[in-house]
Amino acid sequence: MFRKIPWFKFSSPPNFYWLADRLTPWLWGGAAILGIMGLYVGFFVAPPDYQQGDSYRIMFIHVPTAWMGMFIYLLIALYSVIFLTWRIKMADVMAIALAPTGALMTFLSLWTGALWGAPTWGTYWVWDARLTSTLILLFLYLGYMALHAAVDDREKGARAASLLALVGVVNVPIIYFSVEWWHSLHQGMSVTLTDAPSMAASMFAAMLLMTGACWLYSAAIALRRAQVEALEREAGNPWVQDELLGAEEGGDAATAAEASGDLQREVRS
Amino acid sequence: MWSGVGDFLAMGGYAPWVWGSYGVFAVLLILEAVLLARRRRQVRDRLTRRLRRERADQVREVREA
């Protein structure tokens, strides 16, 4: 089935819209299933931590939202490169559609981090490398969205915002490696690509399930937002007419044009 | 693991921190999804009305011609 789908065609808005319509129900469903499984394992299977008691359960949303905040920013930078290099407008649509969700995830990682820090470190906030660079990530998201919206000429605004996204991407490795590069109150990496995770299997499973849930949720939301964005930008195009009027008039733009042709002939005779 | 609902809600004494995290997490994600669904509906309605009006204008022009 997958081979028959012409993936390269999905940079065109109508094909993208069609594909997003078919993907989002599965992404929502997957996010709900993984989320329920993750919460079950996180609250009813994983044991309390021997040092932190039950407060460590915040980790099951803190780590996934922090990962998503960084990952979505990398995606935005990637789409920005595609947009700036090949001027593919759907790349900009995807980038701006991802930004609010990336900002939300980053905010949630800071929020859950503060509420985890309070009982474990005795403070909601410290100006150390990990926390400060994550706060900068949140400001980069907000700056990207503000710049994108601020310029009247959408093309110019999109290009300026894409450049900002690219410049800001250096911040992501800084966040990721900050706990190794600087002395930090924040604990080091518990999960790396090379070593086994330094936590119980059930804790690790809950974290991975919640990460999957956040990933699928973000994908569904971003595709939906990109659809709305594409509709607004392409409002004058035939595919939007097909999408919006097609169903109610029992036909597409071609039949509508035919009908108006019939009408013209009728009027003339 | 938990001796009852009360024990579960108490979260080993960390209730404000744990539920403050999960509560805001859930509320904001649901809010984002709801606001986006509302925006989608508004945009579709607005564009549909505009397209219908334009099409009606076209038909009128043709009739008047």
Closest among A16, A256, A236 to B47, alpha carbons compared: A236
pLDDT, one tens digit per residue, over A88-137 is 999 999 999 999 999 999 999 999 999 999 999 999 999 989 999 999 99
Which pLDDT value is given to residue A235?
Answer: 87
With beta carbons under 8 A apart, name residues in chain B contacting A24.
none
pLDDT, one tens digit per residue, over A15-64 is 999 999 999 999 999 999 999 999 999 999 999 998 899 999 999 999 99
Pick from B14, B33, B63: CB nearest A53: B14
Q: Say if the Cβ atoms of B13 and A245 lie within 8 Å.
A: no
Residue A234 neighbours by CB distance under 10 Å: 18
Q: Say if the Cβ atoms of B17 and A100 lie within 8 Å.
A: no
**Helix axes of A129-150 and A154-168: crossing angle, nearest 10 degrees:** 170
Residue A186: pLDDT above 90? Answer: no
Q: With a threshold of 0.95, tell me whether the complex ipTM lies above it.
A: no
With beta carbons under 8 A apart, name residues in chain B contacting A100.
32
Fill in the DSSP letter of residue A5. S
Q: Does A118 touch chain B (CB under 8 A)?
A: yes
Q: What tokens were used for A88?
A: 């593919």
User: Across A96-105, A121-130, A193-202, A240-249, which has the greatest mean pLDDT?
Assistant: A96-105
Q: Say if the Cβ atoms of A55 and B18 lie within 8 Å.
A: yes
Q: Does A115 touch chain B (CB under 8 A)?
A: yes
DSSP A238-260: HHHHHHHHTTTTTS-HHHHHHHH
pLDDT, one tens digit per residue, over B24-63 is 999 999 999 999 999 999 999 999 999 889 888 888 988 8
Which pLDDT value is given to residue A45?
Answer: 95
Contacts for A216 with CB less than 8 Å, ≥ 6 apart:
A27, A28, A30, A31, A34
Sole residue written with tokens 């595609």: A82
Mean pLDDT of chain A, nearest integer: 88
Q: Say if the Cβ atoms of A244 and B48 lie within 8 Å.
A: yes
pLDDT, one tens digit per residue, over A41-55 is 999 999 999 889 999
With beta carbons under 8 A apart, name residues in chain B contacting A119.
14, 17
Residue A269: pLDDT above 60? Answer: no
Q: Say if the Cβ atoms of A217 and B8 lie within 8 Å.
A: no
Pick from A54, A61, A62: CB nearest B12: A54
With beta carbons under 8 A apart, name residues in chain B contacting A62.
21
Residue A73 to residue B49: CA distance in whole angstroms: 36
Q: What's the sign of the alpha-carbon dihedral A218, A220, A225, A227? A: positive
Lowest mean pLDDT among A171-180, A204-213, B21-30: A171-180
User: What is the percent of chain A where pLDDT is above 90?
Assistant: 68
Reduce the DSSP state of residue A199 to 3 states and report it: coil
Which pLDDT value is given to residue A250?
Answer: 47
